[in-house]
């Protein structure tokens, strides 16, 4: 194998692949990224036996095709620290030689034949959807998952795929985020009764691999894993085991709830100001709606008190609810500042519901006001 490539281009792909390779493993071969070079492109492969990824890098100058195994730590450091525009990689009898105009490295390597196989996308039943939608599904639900919970099923995002579209749900038991959008079912692909919970770490990897928002992706759910294909990447990941909560039961059906329209930017700014006096023991902020304004109030024995007024178009009955400001901030952070949200509040003991006009819903349980 011998080829020359753009260092920055290879660095971006290698760093994404390296997210999968384990830092420690009884199988040392897994601490590498496998590279297969042919024609004018290279395919990078990595796996930890739970997640596998293939990434294609185009536009290489290939003198000799071949396969090599690149150690994540040392080769990744070369790509990061080098200031060379182009780098040449060559497989030798001693290992892998990395050469630039002003630098040269010799790295030991392992037998590529010992590297586990990484899955290809060969499905005839799958869903097609825009990469932009997939990124929104991830961004708007991933933050609500709980990777540290003893309830293991909460450590991932639930995906439900139907003939009409796709739904993503994330929850940690105290809040729940749901995003949905249109997606095309190919070959009658549906998740049905299967609980398709994708690990949070895998979702982070998928989001990073979606570099072209205008691209179309293919997503297939299988018995124990899901596999996703973009124009330049294929990712396969095992599913989280366990039962996901009945998330539809979380969304309340109300007749007497107050519906209040707010803009994300001003609300997020006011919330950040009010939370200045909060601490780890007092994360609750009072949201008081009434008389054409929203008053955000917080108090902490150690830090002090805050009171922020935000004029709003609301003339209904006064209603106050206490919410964890971090939970509300997480929701607002993934939305554009100019976007509008509708807040539904029934009383200070019922869940607060946030809605947008593009299929996004977010439920937060209130805190006790006796603080």
Supply the pLDDT for residue 370. Answer: 57
Supply the pLDDT for residue 371. Answer: 47
Instruction: Record the tokens describing residue 31, joined without a space.
Output: 């601490």
Q: What is the mean pLDDT of the chain?
A: 94
Average pLDDT over residues 186-192: 94
- By the 8 A CB rule, do 311 and 263 touch? no
Lowest mean pLDDT among 90-99, 184-193, 226-235, 276-285: 276-285
Domain boundary residue, one of 248, 271, 301 = 248
| Same-domain pairing of 211 and 307 | no
Supply the pLDDT for residue 150. Answer: 64
Average pLDDT over residues 43-63: 96
Whether 211 maps to a domain, the answer reads: yes
Q: What is the pLDDT of residues 102-136, one digit of tens each?
A: 999 999 999 999 999 999 999 999 999 999 999 99
Nearest to 236 by CA among 55, 15, 51: 51
Average pLDDT over residues 240-261: 88
- By the 8 A CB rule, do 17 and 56 touch? no
Is the pLDDT assigned to residue 316 strictly greater than 70? yes
| Same-domain pairing of 146 and 78 | no
| Same-domain pairing of 223 and 287 | no
Average pLDDT over residues 252-270: 91
DSSP-H helix ranges across the chain: 7-18, 72-81, 131-139, 200-209, 264-274, 325-333
Whether 369 maps to a domain, the answer reads: no
Rounded-to-integer distance, Cα 134 and Cα 111, Å: 36
| Same-domain pairing of 72 and 8 | yes
Percentage, residues of the chain above pLDDT 70:
97
Whether 149 maps to a domain, the answer reads: yes
**Helix/strand number for the chain, H first, E second:** 6, 26
| Same-domain pairing of 227 and 285 | no
The full 3-state SS of 243-269, as one line of letters, equals CCCCHHHHCCCCCCCEEEEEEHHHHHH
Whether 283 maps to a domain, the answer reads: yes
Going by C-beta distance under 8 Å and a sequence separation of 6 or more, which residues neighbour residue 222?
Answer: none
| Same-domain pairing of 217 and 326 | no
Supply the pLDDT for residue 280. Answer: 64
Average pLDDT over residues 230-236: 97
| Same-domain pairing of 263 and 244 | no
Average pLDDT over residues 163-191: 96
- By the 8 A CB rule, do 79 and 14 touch? yes
Q: What is the pLDDT of residues 139-167, one digit of tens each?
A: 999 999 997 766 668 999 999 999 989 99
Average pLDDT over residues 210-228: 96
Average pLDDT over residues 256-265: 94
CATH number of the domain within which 263 lies: 3.10.150.10
Whether 119 maps to a domain, the answer reads: no
Domain boundary residue, one of 209, 231, 248 = 248
Whether 121 maps to a domain, the answer reads: no
Q: Which residue has the higher pLDDT, 283 or 111?
A: 111
Q: What is the count of structural domains for the chain?
A: 3
| Same-domain pairing of 190 and 273 | no
> Which domain, by its residues, includes 226?
126-248
State the burial class of residue 33 (Cβ atoms within 10 Å of its Cβ: 0-12, 13-18, 19+).
buried
Rounded-to-integer distance, Cα 114 and Cα 117, Å: 9
Average pLDDT over residues 202-214: 95
| Same-domain pairing of 80 and 155 | no
3-state secondary structure of 113: helix
| Same-domain pairing of 239 and 130 | yes
Lowest mean pLDDT among 55-64, 151-160, 210-219: 151-160
3-state secondary structure of 209: helix
DSSP 2-57: EEEEEHHHHHHHHHHHHTTS-SS-SSGGGGEEEEEEETTEEEEEEE-SSEEEEEEE
Nearest to 119 by CA among 227, 257, 245: 227
Average pLDDT over residues 344-360: 94
Domain boundary residue, one of 114, 142, 173 = 114
**What's phi and psi for 2, nearest 5 deg?**
-155, 125
In this prediction, residue 281 has a pLDDT band, given cuts at 50, 70 and 90, of low
**Widest pairwise Cα distance in the chain:** 79
3-state secondary structure of 142: helix
Instruction: Record the tokens describing residue 117, joined without a space.
Output: 């196989």
In this prediction, residue 93 has a pLDDT band, given cuts at 50, 70 and 90, of confident
Whether 120 maps to a domain, the answer reads: no
The conformation of residue 140, written as its DSSP 8-state character, comes to T
End-to-end CA distance of the chain: 67
Whether 284 maps to a domain, the answer reads: yes
In this prediction, residue 369 has a pLDDT band, given cuts at 50, 70 and 90, of low
Distance, CA of 103 to chain centre: 37
| Same-domain pairing of 92 and 158 | no
**What's phi and psi for 20, nearest 5 deg?**
-85, -40
| Same-domain pairing of 85 and 177 | no
């Amino acid at each position: 194998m011998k080829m020359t490539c753009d260092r920055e281009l290879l660095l971006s792909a290698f760093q994404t692949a390296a997210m999968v390779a384990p830092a420690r493993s009884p199988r040392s071969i897994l601490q590498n990224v496998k590279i297969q070079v042919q024609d004018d492109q290279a395919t990078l492969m990595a796996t930890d036996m739970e997640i596998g990824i293939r990434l294609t890098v185009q536009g290489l100058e290939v003198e000799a095709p071949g396969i090599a195994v690149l150690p994540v730590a040392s080769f990744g450091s070369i790509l990061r620290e080098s200031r060379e525009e182009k780098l040449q990689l060559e497989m030798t009898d001693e290992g892998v030689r990395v050469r630039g105009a002003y630098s040269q490295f010799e790295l030991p390597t392992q037998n590529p034949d010992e590297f586990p196989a990484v899955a290809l996308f060969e499905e005839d039943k799958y869903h097609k959807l825009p990469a932009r939608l997939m990124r929104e599904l991830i961004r708007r639900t991933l933050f609500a998952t709980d990777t540290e919970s003893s309830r293991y099923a909460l450590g991932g995002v639930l995906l439900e795929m139907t003939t009409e579209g796709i739904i993503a749900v994330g929850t940690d038991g105290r809040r729940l985020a749901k995003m949905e959008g249109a997606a095309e079912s190919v070959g009658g692909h549906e998740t049905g009764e299967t609980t398709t919970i994708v690990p949070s770490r895998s979702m982070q990897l998928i989001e990073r691999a979606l570099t072209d928002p205008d691209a179309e992706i293919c997503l297939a759910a299988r018995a124990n894993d899901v596999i996703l294909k973009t124009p330049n990447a294929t990712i396969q990941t095992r599913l989280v085991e366990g039962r996901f909560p009945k998330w539809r039961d979380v969304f309340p059906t109300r007749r007497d709830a107050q519906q209040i329209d707010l803009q994300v930017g001003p609300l997020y700014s006011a919330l950040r100001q009010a939370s200045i006096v909060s601490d780890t023991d007092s994360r609750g902020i009072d949201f008081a709606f009434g008389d054409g304004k929203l008053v955000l109030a917080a108090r902490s024995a150690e830090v002090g008190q805050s009171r922020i007024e935000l004029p709003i178009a609301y003339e209904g009955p006064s209603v106050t609810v206490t919410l964890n400001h971090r939970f509300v901030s997480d929701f607002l952070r993934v939305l554009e500042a100019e976007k509008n949200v509708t807040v539904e509040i029934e009383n200070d003991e019922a869940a607060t519901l946030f809605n947008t006009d593009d299929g996004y819903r977010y439920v937060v349980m209130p805190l006790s006001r006796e603080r």
